[in-house]
Structure 1
Amino acid sequence: MKWKTTDICDEFGMDLEVCQQEFHSYGGKKQFFGPISTVRVFEDNVLVEESLETIPEGNVLIVDGGGSKRYALLGDRLGEIAVRRKLAGVIINGCVRDTADLAQLDVGILAIRSNPLRSKKDGKGDLGITVTFGGIDWRPGEYVYADEDGVVVGPKRLL
């Protein structure tokens, strides 16, 4: 199936929210979409790993890391979990590491930037809640569409 966020916006613009956060693409897939699952953490990726291991196949994990640039919330090991579990992608309001390895993985990964420092391991945060960043309320069950032109969110599957 061929699609672009620009075409989705042209057809469904009134039903969509366009993310204002700038992301860099780190995964092997530059285009991905799926239902949203969420986790909110701060400089701690224990719940990110738990989410990757438990959310449904085909989902996109939205990680609200508070925009912190001090630690990476996802690296090669967690990226491989996303591939093994057949997730569509991961969008991180925070950092990643192991970027050369992530680029080889068949999954979409967007993040603010990279940072070589691993995160804390306290297990603090929230799962499956509405998170807000980039001018969007990211609600579990809604759909996200991401490609080279941007990230848009709609209340239902559009493709």
Structure 2
Amino acid sequence: MDVNTADLCDLHEAMLESGSLRVLTTMFHQYGGAKRFFGPAATVKVFEENGLIREVLNTEGGGRVLVIDGGGSLRCALVGGNLSEIAVTRGWAGILVFGGVRDREEMLRCDVGIAAIGTNPRRCARDSGGKRDITVALPGASVRPGEWIYADLDGGWFQAAT
């Protein structure tokens, strides 16, 4: 399926007006090998630690998109090359990080969509704190588990209520 976020907006203006189709602030940048990705959201909220992210990515992805509320911190990277490879192996369609990533060259070789607000070569703590399967607030919109995420190079990140 060829999903284009600009076309989604054009075709579903009434949904944008009602709030059932929402646009995230376009501060996210593409880092993964897949430049367009979509799927139902799985959510986690963490801060400068990625043990829970690793735990979730090690489950069967089933074409889902992992949406990570990392509090917008760029002091360390929540996702890098190793987690990107796990995402591919486990069948995840993408990872959307409100935080930092690292290992850009490795991520580009992975056939998974990865978007984040920036990079930092420093790894984060590997603790397993945080919450999963909750509504997360990202710039411009909140994301609930199961909502569909659509992402492409236009920088638009959209989710439609299920």
Cross-structure match for 2:18: none
Trace 1:6-155 onto structure 2 (pairs within 5 A).
6-15=6-15, 16-54=21-59, 56-149=61-154, 150-155=156-161
Question: 1:16-57 CA deviation, whole Å, 9 max, x = no partner?
Answer: 100014111000011000000000000000001011112531
**TM-score (normalizing by structure 1):** 0.94
Q: Which runs of 5+ in 2 are unaligned?
A: 16-20
Measured in 2, the distance between the counterparts of 1:57 and 1:135 equals: 27
* 4+ residue segments displaced more than 4 Å: none
CA contact (8 A) 2:135 2:145 kept: yes
Q: Aligned-pair distance for 1:13?
A: 2.9
Look up the SS of the partner of 1:83 in the other structure. Answer: helix
Bigger mean CA offset, 11-20 vs 139-148 = 11-20
Give the CA RMSD over aligned residues.
Answer: 1.0
Q: Which runs of 5+ in 1 are unaligned?
A: none
* Letter matched to residue 101 of structure 1: E
Q: Aligned-pair distance for 1:11?
A: 1.1
**TM-score (normalizing by structure 2):** 0.93
Identity of aligned residues (%): 48
Bigger mean CA offset, 57-66 vs 18-27 = 18-27
